[in-house]
């Protein structure tokens, strides 16, 4: 078990341990010690637009320098952009200062290896070893240096554009891009306009406090309004660090991660370049699974979290996976989830087929999905609650292969999550409430 690292780095509220300046100083030093053992090299550090990024960037730089490691600072940069630059600049590692889709008062740290993927467990264990050791400083002549990479944004913009054929010209396509006041604010509009689209933007005025605030992939209502108001062909909503995307069609209907993965999978299949199964999660809509089955494609479900999606993609030699939240991994294009690149793949399919986003998503019918969170003041495993399991089995028998139940304890909050999905919404809602009531009774017993 790791003491500090979770499934996606280290995250929490700014000012509360471990998301403090002193801990980040020690983390920079511990990371530097690990990579200094591997010889000469440097570490990239990038961040999103939340105000605490200034403080943590300085703390990490100081820690790395004290371990004798050079730092190359990227400034505001999407998480997938940092993964790309870590790989292409041959850095020892890339460090991302971001809490992704969380509010400004949260922050976190995650790492990329020189391959542009998550750090191996053994490296994280080594970093944790040094975190629990006394901090030292190398002699002055061996201290690390820092410099800024001035062309980081331009490098990443060109990479994003390279993931679709240069012959594709999107002139005549009108789109709205919501950057969530996050790290894509100075990148995404350039990418989409440079491939020819007419771009209107929202969420491109970060002030350090407004990241993800009523905008972006987690709150696309404003984007829906703007698409309808401007008569755009589509909208693209990214989250604060740019690794998620939700799209909106010309009718103002939201197109979530499951539907986008379906569109990309169908496109790859028709071109004869689809390898392996599609990897989803326990939350992936049953409608997507049935839609893929009709195409002759298998869906493999991972635990919730992009780390687990990546593990199954590697295990099954797959190229496409992701979550309904819009975190989509196209391994035939890049090494991690990337909102801009995923959107470009969907736009490329619109261009090639001449079909609208609304038409492309119509091949998959989403099933109604009801989620009820039941609060609990004690640790409980729903699999061990006999009355709950009895009710669950009865509902599953009633729904047959036309429905699905997910019952699990939250890993981050004192909740039991009850999720039911099926064909008919009223029935699904009733089943979910019935099961949630049974959970409440069992917890009160």
Residue 379's pLDDT band, with cuts at 50, 70 and 90, is confident
In angstroms, the CA 90 to CA 223 distance is: 37
In angstroms, the CA 429 to CA 59 distance is: 49
Residue 396's pLDDT band, with cuts at 50, 70 and 90, is very high
Does residue 227 sit in helix, strand or coil?
helix
Place of tokens 């999720």: 419
Domain limits, the chain: 10-150, 163-361, 369-444
Tokens of 63: 């820690």
Q: Which of 200, 272, 273, 185 is nearest to 233 (CA)?
A: 200
Res 305: pLDDT: 86
Q: Is residue 166 scored above 70 in pLDDT?
A: yes
In CATH terms, are 10-150 and 163-361 the same topology? yes
Residues 6+ apart with CB under 8 A from 394: none
pTM attached to this predicted model: 0.93
Superfamily of domain 369-444: Alpha-D-phosphohexomutase, C-terminal domain (3.30.310.50)
More reliable by pLDDT, 133 or 401: 133
Catalytic residue among 100, 183, 219, 342: 100
More reliable by pLDDT, 6 or 224: 224
100 is catalytic: yes
340 half-sphere exposure, CB direction, 13 A CA radius: 32
Q: What is the arithmetic mean of pLDDT over 143-168?
A: 97
Res 211: pLDDT: 98
Residue 412's pLDDT band, with cuts at 50, 70 and 90, is low
76 within 8 A of 50, measured Cβ to Cβ: no
31 within 8 A of 41, measured Cβ to Cβ: no
Q: Which of 267, 299, 294 is nearest to 284 (CA)?
A: 299
Residue 279: cis peptide before it, omega within 30 degrees of 0? no
Q: Please give the distance of CA 437 from its chain centroid, rounded to a whole number.
A: 32
Q: What is the pLDDT of residues 12-67, one digit of tens each?
A: 999 999 999 999 999 999 999 999 988 779 999 999 999 999 999 999 999 999 99
Res 6: pLDDT: 82
Res 299: pLDDT: 98
Q: Is residue 225 scored above 90 in pLDDT?
A: yes
Q: Is residue 154 scored above 90 in pLDDT?
A: yes
Beta bridge partners of 300: 279
Residue 83's pLDDT band, with cuts at 50, 70 and 90, is very high
Res 444: pLDDT: 87
More reliable by pLDDT, 379 or 180: 180
In angstroms, the CA 107 to CA 206 distance is: 16
Superfamily of domain 10-150: Alpha-D-Glucose-1,6-Bisphosphate, subunit A, domain 3 (3.40.120.10)
- Among 250-254, 292-296, 401-405, which stretch is predicted with the lowest mean pLDDT? 401-405
Q: Is residue 411 scored above 70 in pLDDT?
A: no
Residues 6+ apart with CB under 8 A from 424: 368
Q: Is residue 7 scored above 80 in pLDDT?
A: no
Q: What is the pLDDT of residues 99-127, one digit of tens each?
A: 999 999 999 999 999 999 988 889 999 99
Q: What is the arithmetic mean of pLDDT over 367-375?
A: 93
Taking all residues of the chain, what is their mean pLDDT, rounded to a whole number? 95
Res 146: pLDDT: 97
Q: Which of 302, 307, 299 is nearest to 277 (CA)?
A: 299
Residues 6+ apart with CB under 8 A from 327: 243, 244, 257, 306, 309, 337
Tell me the Cα Rg of the chain.
23
366 within 8 A of 285, measured Cβ to Cβ: yes
Q: Is residue 327 scored above 90 in pLDDT?
A: yes
Topology given in CATH for the domain delimited by 163-361: Alpha-D-Glucose-1,6-Bisphosphate; Chain A, domain 3 (3.40.120)
258 within 8 A of 246, measured Cβ to Cβ: no
């Amino acid at each position: 078990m790791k003491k500090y690292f979770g499934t996606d780095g280290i995250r929490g509220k700014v000012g509360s341990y471990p998301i403090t300046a002193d801990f980040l100083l020690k983390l920079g030093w511990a990371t530097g010690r690990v990579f200094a053992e591997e010889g000469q090299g440097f570490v990239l550090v990038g961040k999103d637009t939340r105000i605490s990024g200034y403080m943590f960037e300085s703390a990490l730089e100081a820690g790395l320098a004290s371990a004798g490691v050079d730092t190359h600072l990227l400034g505001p940069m999407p998480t997938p952009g940092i993964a790309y630059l870590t790989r292409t600049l041959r850095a020892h590692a890339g460090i991302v200062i971001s809490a992704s889709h969380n509010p400004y008062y949260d922050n976190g740290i995650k790492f990329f290896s020189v391959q542009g993927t998550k750090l191996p467990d053994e490296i994280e264990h080594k970093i944790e070893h040094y975190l629990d050791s006394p901090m030292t400083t190398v002699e002055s002549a061996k201290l690390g240096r820092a410099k800024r990479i001035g062309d980081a944004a331009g490098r990443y913009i060109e990479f994003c554009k390279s993931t679709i054929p240069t012959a594709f010209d999107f002139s005549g396509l009108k789109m709205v891009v919501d950057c969530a006041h996050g790290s894509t604010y100075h990148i995404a509009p350039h990418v989409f306009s440079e491939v020819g689209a007419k771009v209107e933007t929202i969420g491109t005025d970060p002030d350090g406090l407004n990241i993800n605030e009523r905008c972006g992939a987690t709150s696309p209502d404003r984007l829906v309004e703007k698409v309808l108001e401007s008569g755009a062909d589509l909208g693209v909503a990214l989250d604060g660090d740019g690794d998620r995307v939700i799209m909106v069609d010309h009718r103002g209907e939201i197109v979530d991660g499951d539907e986008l993965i379906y569109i990309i999978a169908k496109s790859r299949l028709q071109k004869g370049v689809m390898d392996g199964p599609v990897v989803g999660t326990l939350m992936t809509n049953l409608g997507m699974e049935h839609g893929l089955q009709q195409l002759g494609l298998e869906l493999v479900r991972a635990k919730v979290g992009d780390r687990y999606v990546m593990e199954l993609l590697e295990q099954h030699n797959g190229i496409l996976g992701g979550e309904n939240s819009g975190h989509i991994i196209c391994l035939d294009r890049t090494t991690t989830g990337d909102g801009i690149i995923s959107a470009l793949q969907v736009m490329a399919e619109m261009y090639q087929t001449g079909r609208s986003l609304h038409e492309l998503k119509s091949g998959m019918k989403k099933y109604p999905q009801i989620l009820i969170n039941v609060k609990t003041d004690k640790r409980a495993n729903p699999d061990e609650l006999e009355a709950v399991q009895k009710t669950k089995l009865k509902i599953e028998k009633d729904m047959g292969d036309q429905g699905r139940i997910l019952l699990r304890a939250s890993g981050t909050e004192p909740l039991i999550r009850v999720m039911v999905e099926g064909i008919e919404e009223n029935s699904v809602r009733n089943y979910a409430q019935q099961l949630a009531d049974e959970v409440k009774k069992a917890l009160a017993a």
